[in-house]
Amino acid sequence: MTNSAFLRVLNGERVNPPPLWIMRQAGRYLPEYRELRTRAKNFLDFCYSPALATEAVLQPLRRFQLDAAILFSDILVVPDALGRKVWFVEGEGPRLEPLIGEEHWRFDEVERAIQRLAPVYEAVGRIKGSLDANTPLIGFCGGPWTVATYMLQGQGGDKERARRVAYERPLDVDRLLDLLAEMSARHLAEQVKAGADCLQIFESWAEGLPPLQFERLIIKPTQKLIQRLRQIGVATPIIGFPRGAGAEISNYAQRTGVTALGIDTSVPKILAPHGMPVQGNLDPLLLVVGGTALESGVRDVLERFSGAPHIFNLGHGITPEASVENVARLVDLVKGRA
Amino acid sequence: MTNSAFLRVLNGERVNPPPLWIMRQAGRYLPEYRELRTRAKNFLDFCYSPALATEAVLQPLRRFQLDAAILFSDILVVPDALGRKVWFVEGEGPRLEPLIGEEHWRFDEVERAIQRLAPVYEAVGRIKGSLDANTPLIGFCGGPWTVATYMLQGQGGDKERARRVAYERPLDVDRLLDLLAEMSARHLAEQVKAGADCLQIFESWAEGLPPLQFERLIIKPTQKLIQRLRQIGVATPIIGFPRGAGAEISNYAQRTGVTALGIDTSVPKILAPHGMPVQGNLDPLLLVVGGTALESGVRDVLERFSGAPHIFNLGHGITPEASVENVARLVDLVKGRA
């Protein structure tokens, strides 16, 4: 796949204009996705249907000239596969039975969990078979701490409860992070075996941690995950996206073993080691607002990261309120056609 | 007040052990505060009662050896004084009539607003008269963007709506920030006139802004506020606390004109210009958790900031769930008595 600008950038090459994809590009801002979504009775069933997941991945590629596809799935298939109950409340988000009493702190074997995720790997294979030869496919998982926060709290939002348990039950939480690092490495390896060309680790909740806890909850589990993945023999590039890492972003880039750094909306300049590819970081709100604000936002991102191998993306997932016209305009602006 | 370690540190001196105060030290974790709070029918009335506000300030000083007092008030007295309706929903937080239609985008004159805040300045005078001669008093206001987000959204939480209005109505929002910079400068100047020895600007919502917006919404309005304050003739030290500024923290420290940098829980090391005093940044959750986690957290903060003039504080306000025993233990740990 030597013609993929996306993979060339991940290999350290500067490409102009930069390749582009959009976090959550298969999503609710697309009317055809909203229609497709009605064909499964709930969100997890949708993720576990290889046919529906494949169609969802292809939808945005038919509309826009995007330089990568990403598996349609969810970071919470991992706790689901480990035997924790996961469900999605329409319009609110995911819910899990939180880890409180001893009876909750029990997880199924990794081997068995990986078997349960067979439909995900089947989807990867189908998607890969449906993409044209020059469109790379990104596989993904959540960062161990991000997945753990959902498991500890039972939902997203404020991370205080998860952080508190991390202080109060240090051994249990460290063991959980070890399990998630192992499970995530295996999950990513299976995605690569099924056809993924690149991997992204979504550490959506890297924010608000004191440095000792950032080291313990973000850096170390990510190191373990990536070391294990390399040990299994997976050599594909890995984009780490520690959203909200703030002043810790360089530390994350330098020490976790990621190939490339995903940067959130608030990161002002290149904070990755020299030559490391960066991916980001347009404010997703600009795809709602449009107009000259979108234009100057895109120009600003292009200028700020022109000194690094750069993959254009948003600083966070596209929102349901974004307009299809603004996405088309974004693609034109990045490709220099506007 | 040459015996104040707090003011000496703000003057650039390194003091060991560092002086200590606690954001929201007068607050709901204290049983005597919860009792006192029942004497006013709502939170704003409490803030506007010089007698109650004075008593609230003194309560924690009777229990703990703290090196500074802070005015009991709220950052939202500013929009209240400007004629916007502000109220507090018990257990949820502040509410304002959000700025939506043209009829909302009207504000009273600064001169009149300052007159309305006379009870706040009376409280400052009373508090100052009640403190012992070596305990400095901190006055404060919210950062212009932080106050504006409440005004734009009608409440706290997700800042998306405020950011969206900032994109969609750029002139209106810039004018609002100018008004808030002017009003805040006047408000701080009056507090100094009434007896405040130092000032803090709480920019509680500095997080999640793209760099162009950080420049526009945080840096420039803070510069204007501080320039105006200096122009009025106020020479007292100013602590800027841009919570969540992340990778922008050095930019804020270098360019706004603050004397000292307040740092949130997630800031890992000294990111202020050489010699600039820093204030922070223990995780407030550790005052809930206590035990060895509290001990190692305190030790870590002391070590990390031993190279700068340092005021020990939390990285965010103390929570109602914190225990009085843990606060006493914190004071002992910082003062080297434990």
HEC assignment per residue over A277-334: CEEEEECCCHHHHCHHHHHHHHHHHHHHCCCCCEEEEECCCCCCCCCHHHHHHHHHHH
pLDDT score of B103 more than 90? no
Q: Which of B165, B135, B138, B133 is nearest to B149 (CA)?
A: B165
**What pLDDT is attached to residue B201?**
98
pLDDT score of A196 more than 90? yes
Q: 3-state DSSP call for residue A178? A: helix
> What residue numbers bound the domain in which A21 lies?
5-334
Q: Which chain B residues have a beta carbon less than 8 Å from that of A163?
A: 283, 285
Q: Does A23 touch chain B (CB under 8 A)?
A: no
* CATH code, domain carrying B154: 3.20.20.210
Cα Rg of chain A (Å, integer): 19
Query: Largest Cα–Cα distance in chain A?
Result: 59
CB proximity under 8 Å: A 157-196 to B: 160, 163-164, 167-168, 170
Tokens of B1: 């007040």
| Amino acid code (one letter) for A306 | S
**B207, B266, B321, best to mutate vs chain A, most A CBs in 10 Å:** B266
Nearest Cα residue in chain A from B291: A168
Query: Catalytic residue at B186?
Result: no
Q: Does B295 touch chain A (CB under 8 A)?
A: no
**What pLDDT is attached to residue A92?**
86
Q: Does A281 touch chain B (CB under 8 A)?
A: yes
Q: Which of B71, B316, B52 is nearest to B198 (CA)?
A: B71
Q: Which of B67, B74, B80, B197 is catalytic?
A: B74
What percentage of chain A reaches a pLDDT higher than 70? 99
CB A283 within 8 A of CB A297: yes
Q: Which chain A residues have a beta carbon less than 8 Å from that of B208?
A: 264-266
Band the pLDDT of A31: cuts 50, 70, 90.
very high
CB A246 within 8 A of CB A205: no
Average pLDDT taken over every residue of chain A? 96
Nearest Cα residue in chain B from A208: B266
**What pLDDT is attached to residue B293?**
97
Q: Report the DSSP pairing between strands B137-142 and B198-203.
A: parallel
pLDDT in tens, A129-160: 999 999 999 999 999 999 999 999 999 877 89
Q: Which of B301, B327, B317, B285 is nearest to B140 (CA)?
A: B317
pLDDT score of B90 more than 90? no
Q: Which chain A residues have a beta carbon less than 8 Å from that of B214?
A: 266, 268
Nearest Cα residue in chain B from A319: B160
pLDDT score of B111 more than 90? yes
Task: Tell me whether residues B288 and A164 touch, CB distance under 8 A.
Answer: yes
- Number of structural domains chain B divides into: 1
Band the pLDDT of B3: cuts 50, 70, 90.
confident
**What pLDDT is attached to residue B226?**
98
**What pLDDT is attached to residue A101?**
87
Residue B337, number of CB atoms within 10 A of its CB:
10
Cα gap B269→B309, rounded to integer Å: 13
Q: Residue holding tokens 């799935």? A: A73
- Out of A167, A214, A286, whose CB is closest to B285? A167
What is the average pLDDT across A188-203?
Answer: 98
Give the distance, in angstroms, between the CA of residue A137 and the centroid of all CA atoms in the same chain: 13
- Residue B242 pairs in a beta bridge with B203
- Residue B87 pairs in a beta bridge with B95
Query: Catalytic residue at B37?
Result: yes
**A161, A167, A243, best to mutate vs chain B, most B CBs in 10 Å:** A167
Average pLDDT taken over every residue of chain B? 96
- Residue B106 pairs in a beta bridge with none
CA angle B132/B138/B142 to nearest 5° reads: 160
**What pLDDT is attached to residue B1?**
67
CA angle B231/B233/B235 to nearest 5° reads: 110
pLDDT in tens, B54-83: 999 999 999 999 999 999 999 999 999 999
Task: Tell me whether residues A246 and B251 touch, CB distance under 8 A.
Answer: no
pLDDT score of B331 more than 70? yes
Q: Which of B8, B37, B116, B161 is catalytic?
A: B37
